[in-house]
Chains A and B, each alone.
Chain A
Amino acid sequence: MAEKRLQPKNVDLRPDRYDKRVVYEKCGRAKYISHLDLMRAMQRAIKRSKLPIWYTQGFNPHIYIMFPLTLSLGFESRVEVMDFALLEDLLDEEVLKALDAQMPEGMRIVSCSTPVHSHTEITHAEYDIRISADKTPAEMVEKFRDFMSREVIEIQKRTKKGTYKPVDIRPSLELISMETDEDHLNLKMKLPAGGGFNLNANVAAEAFLDMYGITADEICIERTKILIENGEVFC
């Protein structure tokens, strides 16, 4: 086969790697970057930073990056996590600075460290959900109390086959706090996240709005914490 002529481009395999984990912020204009686009943007940022990045060791070497959780399009967050690996053991501070300098508007590297927990340990995330709608905040508070008092909240979840099946999301909803301001209902919620069951904060918000026929003017969602089983923050 002609394959015998082919060799991986990075023929000097580099098995030594130093894993790094950064926490980053994705706010403002950057909230419109989709997850797929974010991966590309991060790869390019790493490339521009000239950090000695570790590439996957195959025929198509590419920059190794991992995101334990995806952030939905339109959500903001200051607690997002990305893992990658370096060929040299650089100081965390140095890595943070180099990468932060390459972030697009709305993004910032908050911290850098060596990973402690594995991605599979993530169980929950917390969100701030801010809704303005055709109902007053007071009305919405009342409706939301009713919403949370239900025993079953069934939504139609899209399956991989493209069909819909009913799912009860009530056991997944945990309300931490509820406040109002002039125009908004402000919710703080804890929802399951990670490799197991995942509930999108937007799905939860839509389930509420649908149930009471409320038309939202704007829904702003920010992920505020990523948590592991024992309730500690992931990173």
Chain B
Amino acid sequence: MEEIKNKLEKILLKATKPARYIGGEIGSVVKDRDKVDVRFAFCFPDTYDVGMSHLGMKILYGLKNQVPNWWCERVFMPEKDFETLMRENDIPLYGLESLDPIKDFDFIGFTLQYELSYNNVLQMLDLAGLPVLAKDRTSLTPLVVGGGPCVCNPEPMSDFFDLFILGEGEEVNLELLRLYEKMKPSNPTKEEFLREAVKIEGIYVPSFYDVDYNEDGTVKSITPNVPEAPARIKKRIIADFDKVYYPDSFVVPFSEIVHDRSVVEVLRGCIRGCRFCQAGFIYRPFREKNIDTIKNETKSLCEQTGYEEVSLSSLSTSDHTKINELLLSLSEYTDGENVNLALPSLRLDSFNEELLERIQAVRKSGLTFAPEAGTQRLRDVINKNITEDEIINTCKMAFEWGYTQVKLYFMMGQPTETDDDIRGIAELSDKILQLYFETPKEKRGRSVQIAVSTATFVPKPFTPFEFEPQATEEQIKHKQEILKSAVTSKKIKLSLHYSNTSVLEAVLARGDRRVCKAVYAAWKKGCYMDSWDEHFQFDKWLEAFAETGIDTAFYANRTRSYDEVAPWSHLDYLVSHEFLVRENKKAHLAQTTRNCKEGCSGCGIKPECGGVYCGGKKTST
């Protein structure tokens, strides 16, 4: 829009990194607004630098823009300096492609990737000039929709959205927009449209459900209040993952973003079942792409973007059934093109000499491992199926190769954790350090640093630990003291950042609808950009919780019984409740569960979902 463009001209140079706010990047899709029938604002509720790195947006952006008369644009949360300039100059939140205000779009879609971005949704709606509460947006458009992993329990955000999209978006997004396109000419009311929309599998309209509570504050029941709404809403899944839509072009930003490279998704889901890990359960079953598919996607993306680095994306790349062949085949292409092949998410126990040689980046910097727990007992509890021997062997090999830095990630406050488990973190780090000194001088690098960082465990829905209490601040502080006194070497660097954000995460992750009021109240007090240390205001959040009668301990620190009705119990993420209970019981016995490759453990996923190890007919080889 010319008006916004002219206003932007006058303020952009006052903002930091203005290239983020004006669009025009290679790969961005610009259409003739008079020739499109459905306009979708894909909003990432965080800054451009973070949001532009998100793979899901790239996929759904390309997918929707493939349809000639639909136009999907990108929208991000402006940094505070630019937000102030926008408000001073009456510039509403706009789409980066057209520079049109998003309040005039048909859909405003948010991806909910992490709890701490929730309040940015409210802030962005407000900046767009829209009421934040769904009930106050009475006209059909814009429809405010949400997706992403956090939507497996969207209840604390249910007051602000018209509908949620559960599970994988590649098919359901098309179905939803097609329905809208079909109904739009007849001018339906919002309710009329939503009543049709809930007939699509995976579409959840929170206002079509009533929630009742028990006297003790737990949820009693969740019941549909319109005949169209199903009792349980099932997440969507792409059964033939090899054939799923994947973009052949990315929007290539000018300014540097967090993950500034081509990304190719090689597999979805995870075979491991680490009990704390939400992604390991909600993205099940494990499906993968063929080597040729991956190679073609890599080639076409590298050619279109001009990036000199491509990264393979997955929860655990080394679990690809043909990982060695894949890496060999890919590196043939990338080496020839001077493209660097980056492999995050490689599991510690999957390293072997050949693989290490393959991933040998030009710069030898650090190796990053996440043992998550310091003792074998606790690693068994969390089902992190990795032994100390495996950690030791890998580190030994790494030091012999000249690596000088090892980063270790641990979690604190996991179920059954004792002080000994905490001391185990120090012991393990020390053992790894000794390995360096045992490495012959002519082989090892000049110096060594072991960086140990700990995070507070946050129990998440749809994991075996969804029943577990989160450790309190006092408990975590106690554990940190123990770890501090147990680490003696200066070569081991501890980062023991305790952040109140984990309390907030815990409440938002497992909260029910009543938490919406606290979210709203906190936003009113100026809380947003909560994932940024410099903007996070815990005191304001506590005020908001107090004023709205939300007891954080009830949501964060309470043990939930197996038969309690979870606030998300009407959502079906295909992994069965019985399986989660079984896994929780085994955790308390420190018993591990085999991974999907070793044998099925009956998580409840049906063969027809296309899982490689689910015993169904393979859709592709």
Contacts and interface: CB of A to CB of B under 8 A. Distances in A.
B22 A32 contact: yes
A40 B10 contact: no
A2 B400 contact: yes
Interface stretch (B42-50, B126-134, B250-258, B515-523): B250-258
Given A3-B402, A104-B24, A40 B442 contact: no
Give 6 closest A-B pairs by Cβ, nearest first: A2-B402, A44-B306, A47-B306, A29-B24, A48-B306, A105-B24
B14 to A, nearest CB: 10
B358 interface: no
A30 B308 contact: no
**Which interface class (under 10, 10 to 19, 20 to 34, 35 or more) fits A?**
35 or more
B445 A2 contact: yes
Interface string A1-12: 111011001100
B615 interface: no
B182 interface: no
Given A9-B335, A104-B24, A37 B254 contact: yes
24 contacts: A2-B400, A2-B402, A2-B444, A10-B338, A29-B24, A30-B24, A32-B19, A33-B254, A37-B254, A37-B255, A43-B308, A44-B252, A45-B306, A47-B306, A47-B308, A48-B26, A48-B305, A48-B306, A50-B303, A55-B338, A60-B362, A60-B363, A73-B18, A104-B26
B393 interface: no
Given A44-B308, A73-B18, 16 more contacts: A5-B401, A10-B338, A29-B23, A29-B24, A30-B24, A34-B17, A34-B254, A38-B254, A44-B305, A47-B307, A48-B306, A50-B303, A63-B308, A104-B26, A105-B24, A218-B10
B140 interface: no
Contacts of A44: 26, 252, 305-308
Contacts of A38: 254
B250 to A, nearest CB: 11
Contacts of B442: 1
B79 interface: no
B533 interface: no
Contacts of A43: 306, 308
B362 A59 contact: yes
A172 interface: no
B96 to A, nearest CB: 11
Interface in A57-101: 59-63, 73-74
A29 B255 contact: no
B256 A40 contact: yes
Interface in B299-323: 303-308
B338 A9 contact: yes
Interface centre among A43, A44, A63 (most CB of B within 10 A): A44
A200 to B, nearest CB: 13
B11 to A, nearest CB: 10
Contacts of A106: 24
